[in-house]
Amino acid sequence: MVLDPSDLYDLDAELTPEERAVRESVARFVDTRLLPIIAECFDAGRFPSELVGELAGLGLLGSTLPQEFGGGGLGPVAYGLVCQELERGDSGLRSFVSVQSSLCMYPIHAYGSEEQKRRWLPPMARGEVIGCFGLTEAHAGSDPASMRTQARRDGGDWLIRGAKTWITNGSIAQLAVVWARTGAGVSGFLVPTDARGFARTPIPRKMSLRASDTAALYLDDVRVPDSARLPGAQGLKAPLGCLTQARYGIAWGAIGAAVACHREAIAYTRERVLVSVTVWHSRCVDWTMLFSW
Average of per-residue pLDDT across 206-212? 96
- Looking only at the bridges linking them, the beta strands covering 157-168 and 150-154 are antiparallel
pLDDT level of residue 277 (50, 70, 90 thresholds) = confident
Give pLDDT, residue 290. 52
- For the entire predicted model, the pTM comes to 0.91
Instruction: Give dist(CA 134, CA 130) in Å, integer.
Output: 13
Question: How many whole angstroms from its chain centre is CA 40?
Answer: 20
Side chain identity at residue 28, one-letter code: R
Percent of the chain with pLDDT over 70: 93
Mean pLDDT of the chain: 92
Tell me which of 164 and 145 has the higher pLDDT: 164
Predicted local distance difference test score (pLDDT) of residue 291: 52
The closest alpha carbon to 126, from 175, 177, 60, belongs to 60
Residue among 55, 50, 52 nearest 37 (CA): 50
285 pLDDT tier (thresholds 50, 70, 90): low
Task: Report domain extents, the chain.
Answer: 11-129+249-269, 137-239
Model confidence at 244, pLDDT cuts 50, 70, 90, reads very high
**Which pLDDT score is estimated for 293?**
46
The stretch 182-202 carries a mean pLDDT of 95
**Is pLDDT above 60 for 275?**
yes
Q: Which fold has domain 11-129+249-269?
A: Butyryl-Coa Dehydrogenase, subunit A; domain 1 (1.10.540)
Kindly indicate the confidence band of residue 246, based on its pLDDT and cuts at 50, 70 and 90.
very high
Average pLDDT over residues 147-171: 97
Q: Is the dihedral of CA 54, 199, 135, 164 positive or negative?
A: positive
Proportion of the chain above pLDDT 90, given as a percent:
80
Which are the contacts of 124, defined by CB distance < 8 A and separation ≥ 6?
Answer: 61, 62, 70, 100, 104, 105, 108, 130, 131, 175
Instruction: Report the distance separating Cα 77 and Cα 86, nearest Å.
Output: 14
Q: CATH number for the 137-239 domain, one of 2.40.10.220, 2.40.110.10, 3.30.1310.10, 1.10.3720.10?
A: 2.40.110.10
Give the residue-averaged pLDDT of 124-136: 98
Q: Which residues contact 7 (CB under 8 A, 6 or more apart)?
A: none
